[in-house]
Structure 1
Amino acid sequence: MQEQISDSPVAEETATVDAPSDTLLLVDGSSYLYRAFHAGGDWSVTLPDGTRQPTGALRILINMMQSLEREFPTRYAVCVFDAKGSTFRNALYPDYKGHRPPMPEDLASQIGPIHQVVRLLGWHVLCIEGVEADDIIGTLAGMAAEQGKRVIISSGDKDLSQLVNEHVTIIDTMNGKKRDVAGVTAEFGVPPSLMIDYQTLVGDTVDNVPGVDKVGPKTAAKWLNTYGSLDKLVEEAAGIKGVVGENLRKALDWLPIGRQLVTIKTDCDLGDHVQGLPDLGALARHPRNIEELRAFYQLYQFRSLLKALPDDSGGTAAAAAPAPGGTGDLFSEARPSEQDHAAQASDYQTITTWSDFDAWLARIEQAELTALDTETTSLNPLQARILGISLSVQAGQAAYIPLGHEAPESPEQLPLDEVLQRLRPWLEDASKPKLGQNIKYDRHVLANHGIEVRGYIHDTMLQSYVLEAHKPHGLESLAERHIHRRGLSYEDLCGKGASQIPFSQVPVGQATVYACEDSDFALQVHQTLWPQLEKEDKLRRIYELEIEASEVLFRIERNGVQIDAQQLARQSNELGLRMLELERSAHEMAEQPFNLSSPKQIGEIFFTKLGLPVIKKTSTGAPSTDEEVLEKLAEDFPLPRAILEYRSLSKLKNTYTDKLAGMTNPLTGRVHTNYAQAVAVTGRLSSTDPNLQNIPVRTAEGRRIREAFVAGPGNVIASADYSQIELRIMAHISEDAALIHAFESGADVHRATASEVFGVAPDQVSSEQRRYAKVINFGLIYGMSSFGLAKSLGIDNTAARNYIQRYFERYPGVREYMERTREQAREQGFVETVFGRRLQLPDIRSPNGPRRAGAERAAINAPMQGTAADLIKMSMVQVQRALDEQQRATRMIMQVHDELVFEVPEAEIDWVRSEVPRIMAGVAQLRVPLLAEIGFGPNWEQAH
């Protein structure tokens, strides 16, 4: 699309433009577009021809432009938009902006009217095919600055900061930010003259432009202030130490391309698109075209804007007042008049009478699907109490039942207990389909009030997780991404920090909008995402598994685990005494007291006082004392050894032995973790508050912590886990005959690998050879290089390369799997688990070597980790189903990686011993047999 600025005559309005003659105002229209779209909601009108026309972005953008004009009444003004199609940057780097989704259809349909109305408002509109808006802005700003004119750029895009100088200033009307020379320097740590170098180092995730791996804003600013420019930094790259120095050297070939991509052009040939340049007279504002604006506002039903136009007599209208609840001048027209609201706004109802309640109860009883959401007193699911309930059965319609609001002038609310009793039959009816966002949380909240919800069949968080695991899954993000809605945030209502009020203090009217948006948006997001899952059989089955797992996890969390507080106290005391001994010993070795947790003090003692060898340096050039360095030094020196042990014990004490007992729920006397499903992209669960999956088990002290996880009277702890699950999955996926044979024959797979790699009979394999084979087996799964293998085994790189070569010679199917998987990942951008879980790899085609290599390692490992995650979830579901069907008293109390932990009545030990491993081994049929092993004991550690 090409558009041309011309001086075509327009109808004169009575008032003339009286603005400074020395200033050019450039508006980043593309930035404005998306801001207006996300702020504008889903307003729409029906045009005379019967078509639906979205108007939310159009309405907001008009007000943004008028507000900007009032604040900066310049004589020269241009609004610049991006055109469709590629630019020179796409030719230079095909993946430029490769991650950006297409423009939402509801926004695309408003582009034409937006361009039209901006012209009618007196602005020049510029949109040139093949030239980005930033480059047009850069070129016009450069021309004006050369003529000594002042330039104001209105945009929220930080990339434009490189244009700032004594003539050019950027303003961001959305947050009041001003970027002049001092502002840019304060915000980014470098002056505008270095912003191109800064952006080249940092990269641009929005435009999919890689920078230097692991180099963020602070490192980039530090380097540029130290070396003066990117060119000087490149000259000194060989001397920059640490991982970031390594990454810089790896990126040297890329940096010239990256610099071209991030550099805004200031010399574009605008051709005939702007007649008369470089004379700025071509950019002078036109008077508003009142008559055409009146027709435009009538067509799109902008009543408030229409009223604000001068009347037919030529008089000027009074300024339109902001609507109640508006956000100031910028959005004074953003909220429609009462008539507009009645016709277009979402229909949200506050229920404070039994008649309204009964009407909605009848609606949800008959509904095919109801979105349900609770407002509560706490984020802790087992302690939260209900403050209100919202319901939605149709997009744009929802109701909120306030049940605990205490704000001044709150209306009389229906009694909580009676509302719940009247809702109970519907809530507990499995035949009444329900959906929510993170349904596990709402299950807990309602369970706290004695209600066991049944009929939850959909969860928008899990739908997003299955479809796009690598993206955020909060409802706010989902609504913006999929239905292009932005609602009220919790902070909008309650504030932040110390001044934040509880939700119970929020006025009921505001709470209604917030709560109804939650259920309404969840329903609309579901209507967008569910059809995508329905048409993909494998993804739909994974989603159904996640829904089933969610219900089991709810029960595991609710069961909790008993903790022996006295034993933890004893362990804390013992750890504390041992730490004191280590501290005294360290002080004696250093011949002075020092803080064992201070890298600076440790560095001074190690390298200045004791003269220990410098293993590596930090990015600032100082000798490093990180854990890797300490471990290397500990091989030869006792002081680093003591510090490592001290830190290890300190972590155990501070994270577990001091805190676990205090995390006991006072109502149950047990510790209840929270399992997050939608975190790890591989499908693995994440445990928090407390984190039960990171308890260290490689040290005796770490294993002792598990001794504090005990069974109640008359019960024992049982631990069931899969044996060598990821190696078995590798055998299945790779179809390697030798690996399959090892598992089918029941052989020790590490001994079998050692036999193959070292060329000896299985019964002649030494313990050292078996250890090497174990490292090789698991290391290759995680994409370990020969360098990594050499480091793990303490051997040289040549020996490590030989081991890997022999491994692949004996297991050629594994090599073929790795090569095949890398190629498939590059072709399709994702890999899959055995059961169809999709694992996206955004960096698999990255020109940045380290990022691409990391994505390739993930491509090899993710199908195994993901398949293992699928299997343990299948096991949870099947085992829980068997427990329920046989009405067993055994309770599942933890899930840790590939392990399920139970609290088992002594009378059921034999059943659990035989049935749980059988069920776990039978949840899927792979090319090699699955094997689950189980142990019993009075505590978790002894059950292993």
Structure 2
Amino acid sequence: MATTTQQNKLLLLDGNSLAFRAFFALHHSLDRFTNSQGLHTNAIYTFSNMLEVLLKAEEPTHVLVAFDAGKTTFRTALFPEYKGNRSKTPSEFAEQLPYINQLLDAYGLQHYQLADYEADDIIGTLAQAARDQMPVTIVTGDRDLTQLATANTTVKVTIKGVNELETYTPAHVQEKLGISPEQIIDLKGLMGDTSDNYPGVTKVGEKTALKLLGQYGSMENLYDHVAEMKQSKLKENLINDREAAFLSKKLARINIAAPITIDLAQTERQPVDQAALIAFYQEMDFKSKLAKMDLSEATEDNEATAAATPITMTELTRAELPQILAKKTARAFDLDILGDNYHLETPIGFALGTPERWYYSDDLGLLQEAPLRTWLADPQQEKYVFDSKKTMVLLARLDVPIAGMTFDLLLASYLLNTFDNSNDLGVIAHLHGYAGVQTDLDVYGKGTKRAIPTDYQVLGEHLCRKAQAIYQLQAQLTQQLQENDQDQLYDEIEAPLALVLAQMELAGITVDSQRLKAMQRDFGQTLSQIEALIYADAGHEFNINSTKQLGVVLFDELKLPVIKKNKTGYSTSVEVLEQLQQSHPIIERILTYRQISKLQSTYIKGLLKVIHPDHKVHTRYLQTLTQTGRLSSVDPNLQNIPVRLPEGRKIRQAFVPSHPDWEIFSSDYSQVELRVLAHVSGDQNMQAAFKNGLDIHANTAMKIFHLNDPEEVTPDMRRQAKATNFGIVYGISDYGLAKNIGISRPQAAAFIAAYFEQYPDVQAYIKNIVALAREQGYVETIMHRRRYLPDINAKNFNLRSFAERTAMNTPIQGSAADIIKVAMINMQERLTEAGLQARMLLQVHDELIFEAPKAEIPILEKLVPQVMDSAVSLDVPLVVDSAHGPTWYDAK
């Protein structure tokens, strides 16, 4: 905070310009930068990085980020065509702007916009106001603002991306252009501006305009002497376009006396709201940023920080067990370990009890003794827990069964608000207004400092208070589930699914480490061969993994066209290389080299590190992560093994049955999301295609490309139609579709229009579901999984647009997730009923993977599709494709 005028410094940021550059800095990673809600976050992430760099470098005491208020300004009143040539703002960018404002609020930074004026005018006016009070730095992507450079005001303009800046002072402007900052508006008046779409003088470019200004100083002086100029085409154009020139100068001039309602005092930096910033990063899924923060601060300002409720607790002993458990009543039970990996290398202890008295112990051996073991296994004894899946897995690894878990705080909280998906009981308790428990972060610490408290009383109280929180919140959350009509979803899908997932995690899947090591050697040989070819193309050896050395080879030595440069030299990103693919054979080899290198390091070596002594990997399923209800896989993530590359598919050869004479069996829903769309939309054309067993993508391609015969559909046409089909499900824009399939935005818009012409009821569904969301504030899946949309009626266009897109796709994605969850629950029951040895091992997107004796494979070929087909009843058939073989690879 500032204490004297001398110490003050004002930083003014051109919000729209910088955010737009932030968006395009990572637009090649658009699909990768989305949070769990489906919000694109590439602009937010890059803007956040830029903000961190600027605040550290500039150390301003005052900051304001200025934004445009809309397309209509005093300039459009003067010249309606002003900026009229610009493409429609991509919705993927527009939806992120409101969240950039949230980021600024958390940082304690002021942001502002003014109707009928541009961000430039706000910046110019504040820079003018600060001229005698403090130095000013302006950061923008627009060189028009360099007209504001003075002895007191420095303008920094982005060169590449958002972090490489060129500093404009009056001296730098003079050195670079040979004019003063004040003359820049004269320059713009003469040459016009194609970006802002104002005309200037015909045939006058920057070189001619600078020459004229060097001779006459200003436009006014030029026109005072234009009659004296020798007859030429230039003189003729100057005379004919005089009105356009002065209009252009007027449009180029930044208003430094705009009627802003914010003053310098209001731009003073406020302290960073750590809790708000943490919550924002959590919502955006910015894990790298969260890793740098103390997450315990997230709950410091919570309203639920009242004094902890009194607690009566006792250390548990063997002698007390019979009397403690004699009475049949619901009890809370909590079992703790350090970390999330569900293994027992770092046990902490457990607690159980009722509000009358809580018991704790760090002796896990007690869990294996009667009557505690008997109580845990008794389905008639009600147990309230925090995470039933984790509890079941941990106890199973102690060879202790558990049943009767009638309440799961983690699952209940997730269903009530999918945004609050922390795995820390203390955080969740605070979110629901219960302050009587600390977070694990508070008690155990984080990172390398994470440890069990040395004070046994501190540990015991934390364990008991966690159990107490579970008990206290049970009635409240159960009632809320009933009020939200979500109790059936909890009772019939999520709670039983947790137990199914626990059994799958315990079963694990066998991995042939020798086969992985053989692949590692094979990949190494392949990489060596590709290296040799790359060196032959280059004419010498070099470090292929060095961006700098690769850039020199491609652009200096091989003279390939330069696509993009950054502050360290030539860009050799995947996006750049893909654009150069037809230029030289070396490009294809480098792309292949990179892909195989990633497979080698991430998947081969990664899998070898997580194979357990039982020769299996035991992936964990995150049931409470996504907004749509889809499951995620971690430690390792088996859903992300790349299968589009032949080498990636080969990795599945290492996944094998755990017994001789067994096989891997796989069943996969075919196009389940599109079938759900056909069902919920009621579109007759789409339903007919599925009912008649047509290739839906080829069928769509015929309509988009106006073909009459399926034989005319090329593989590329089908690929583009497929992208359109699935893009519609995800609420894709013409910008997003154009980028995905490599066509122009007008072509993409035409594709989408043709799609809706073919499937008119899909378009009607989209319209109706948005209207319904506006009316009731949420959308539902076919299983009544709700997703609340607080921004569906927001006045802010971008917030509202994102909520509308979410309303369109959530019922489709969420219903597909519901279907496979029901199938998994039913499948586990049928396997048990049939007394089969077959085991369900994995769920990967819309696929279920089993292992079974070869003798049971014919049974599974009938049973699994039958169960999966009948998980729900749709207006179109659910189709399941099955395969089996000695490895997961062979079962696809």
**Residues 218-254 of structure 1, C-alpha deviation per residue, up to 9 Å, x if partnerless?**
9999x99999225786845998577769xxx99xx9x
Q: Please state whether the residue corresponding to 1:680 is helix, strand or coil.
A: coil
1:471 Cα deviation from its structure 2 partner: 2.3
User: Partner residue of 2:101?
Assistant: 211
2:177 is matched with which residue?
A: none
Per-residue CA deviations over 1:35-62 (Å, capped at 9, x if unaligned) read xxxxxxxxxxxxxxxxxxxxxxxxxxxx
Give the AA of the match of 1:366.
K
User: What secondary structure, in the 3-state scheme, does the structure 1 residue paired with 2:358 have?
Assistant: strand
CA–CA distance in structure 1, aligned partners of residues 162 and 789 of structure 2: 23
2-side partners of 1:262 and 1:942: how far apart? 69
AA of the residue aligned to 2:461: V
Question: Hey, what does 2:360 align to over in structure 1?
Answer: 400
Match of 2:342 in 1: 381
- Report the Cα offset of residue 426 of structure 1: 0.9
Q: Tell me which of 313, 320, 328 is aligned to 1:366.
A: 328
| Structure 1 residues 486 and 417: CA distance shift in structure 2, 3 A | closer
1:860-939 → structure 2 map (5 Å cutoff)? 860-939=808-887
Query: Cα gap change, 1:385/1:918 in structure 2, threshold over 3 Å: closer, same or farther?
Result: same
Aligned match of 1:701: 647
In the alignment, the residues of structure 2 paired with residue 662 and residue 266 of structure 1 have an alpha-carbon distance, to the nearest angstrom, of 51
Q: CA deviation at 1:510?
A: 0.9
**Map of 1:281 onto structure 2:** none
Question: 1:676 — aligned with what?
Answer: 622
Q: Which one is further off, 748-757 or 604-613? A: 604-613
* 442, 454, 461: which one aligns with 2:403: 454
Q: Could you list the per-position Cα deviations for residues 107-166 of structure 1 after superposition, in whole angstroms to 9, with x for gaps in the alignment?
A: xxxxxxxxxxxxxxxxxxxxxxxxxxxxxxx9xx99xx89x9x99xxxxxxxxxxxxxxx
Residue 430 of structure 1 aligns with an amino acid whose one-letter code is P
CA contact (8 A) 2:139 2:157 kept: no
- Of 293, 307, 315, the residue aligned with 1:351 is 315
Distance 1:873 1:943, change over 3 A: same
Aligned CA distance change for structure 1 residues 448 and 900 (closer, same or farther; 3 Å): same
Report the Cα distance in structure 2 between the residues aligned to 1:940 and 1:600, rounded to whole angstroms. 40
State the 1:846 CA deviation: 6.5
CA shift, 1:515, in A, is: 0.6
Deviation at 1:820, TM superposition (A): 2.6
Displacement of 1:586 after TM fit?
Answer: 3.1
Please tell me whether residue 660 in structure 1 is matched to residue 607 in structure 2.
yes
What is residue 282 of structure 1 aligned with on the other side?
none
User: Contact between 1:539 and 1:836, CA under 8 Å: does it hold in 2?
Assistant: no
- 8 Å contact 2:316–2:359 — kept in the other structure? no
Report the alpha carbon displacement of residue 791 of structure 1 after superposing the two structures with TM.
4.1
Structure 2 distance, partners of 1:636, 1:849, is 43
**What is the CA–CA distance in structure 1 between the aligned matches of 2:869 and 2:318, rounded to whole Å?**
53
TM-score (normalizing by structure 2) = 0.67
What residue in structure 2 maps to residue 97 of structure 1?
Answer: none
Q: Does 1:557 align with 2:505?
A: yes
Where do residues 705-784 of structure 1 align in structure 2 (5 Å cutoff)?
705-711=651-657, 712-768=659-715, 769-784=717-732
Letter in 1 for 2:402: V
* Alignment TM-score, normalising by the size of structure 1: 0.63
Matching residue's letter, 1:483:
G
Q: How does 1:215-364 map to 2 (within 5 A)?
A: 228-229=137-138, 235=144, 240=158, 265=266, 345-362=309-326
Q: Which amino acid aligns with 1:695?
A: I
2:89: which partner in 1?
none
For 2:325, give the aligned amino acid: L
* Helix, strand or coil at the partner of 1:894: strand
Alpha-carbon distance between aligned partners in 2 of 1:185 and 1:809, rounded to the nearest angstrom: 49
**Cross-structure match for 2:59:** 191
Q: Output one character per residue of 1:171-195: Cα deviation in whole Å (capped at 9) or x when no partner.
A: xxxxxxxxxxxxx999754334442
- Secondary structure class of the residue paired with 2:101: coil
CA distance in structure 2 between the aligned counterparts of 1:568 and 1:727, rounded to whole angstroms? 36
Tell whether 2:423 aligns with 1:468: no
| Distance of 1:589 and 1:216 partners within structure 2 | 52
* In structure 1, C-alpha distance between the alignment counterparts of 2:448 and 2:763, rounded to whole Å: 57
Gaps of 5+ in 1: 1-137, 152-183, 268-329, 405-415
Aligned partner of 1:435 among 369, 381, 384: 384
Output the amino acid matched with 2:137: G
Letter in 2 for 1:458: F
Distance 2:565 2:705 in 1: 38
Query: What's the offset of the Cα at 1:784?
Result: 2.9
Corresponding position: 1:487 with 2:437: yes
| Counterpart mapping for 1:485-884 below 5 A | 485=435, 487-501=437-451, 503=452, 506-538=454-486, 540-542=488-490, 544-591=492-539, 593-616=541-564, 624-666=571-613, 668-711=614-657, 712-768=659-715, 769-826=717-774, 828-841=776-789, 853-884=801-832
Match of 1:399, SS state, is: strand
Aligned to 1:178: none
2:885 counterpart letter in structure 1: G
**1:742–1:720: structure 2 CA closer, same or farther, 3 Å change rule?**
same
> The residue matched to 2:843 in structure 1 has which SS?
strand
SS in 2 for 1:909: helix
Shift of 1:527: 2.9
Q: Distance in 1 between matches of 2:104 and 2:570?
A: 19
Residue deviations 1:537-571, cap 9 Å, x none? Answer: 24642564111111000011111111111211111
Output the CA distance in 2 between the equivalents of 1:188 and 1:843: 33
How far apart are the structure 1 equivalents of 2:473 and 2:761? 43
Deviations 1:438-494 (A, max 9, x none): 221111111112111011122111111111112233312211111241634445444
**Contact preservation (8 Å) 1:754, 1:765:** no
1:675, distance to aligned residue in structure 2 (A)? 0.6
Distance in 2, matches of 1:836 and 1:598, equals: 52
C-alpha spacing 1:524/1:740, structure 2 compared with 1 (3 Å): same
Shift of 1:847: 7.1
3-state SS in 2 of match to 1:229 = strand
Q: Is the CA contact (8 Å cut-off) linking 1:789 and 1:800 kept in structure 2?
A: yes
Aligned pair in 2 of structure 1 residues 242, 780: CA closer, same or farther (>3 Å)? Answer: farther
Change (3 A) 1:499 1:547: closer
Unmatched 5+ residue regions in structure 2?
9-51, 70-92, 112-119, 128-134, 147-155, 164-194, 197-253, 269-299
Q: Which amino acid aligns with 2:331?
A: T
Task: Give the fraction of aligned pairs with identical amino acids, expressed as a percent.
Answer: 33
The aligned amino acid for 1:723 is S
After TM superposition, give the deviation of residue 823 of structure 1 in Å. 3.8
Inter-partner Cα distance in structure 2 for 1:548 and 1:691 = 23
Match of 1:391 among 324, 347, 352: 352
RMSD between aligned alpha carbons?
4.4
- Structure 2 counterpart of 1:350, which letter? T
Deviation of 1:805 after TM superposition, in Å, equals 1.6
* Matched position secondary structure for 1:197: strand
Q: Distance in 2 between matches of 1:627 and 1:872?
A: 35
Measure the CA separation in 2 of the matches of 1:931 and 1:905.
Answer: 25
Distance of 2:745 and 2:367 partners within structure 1? 72
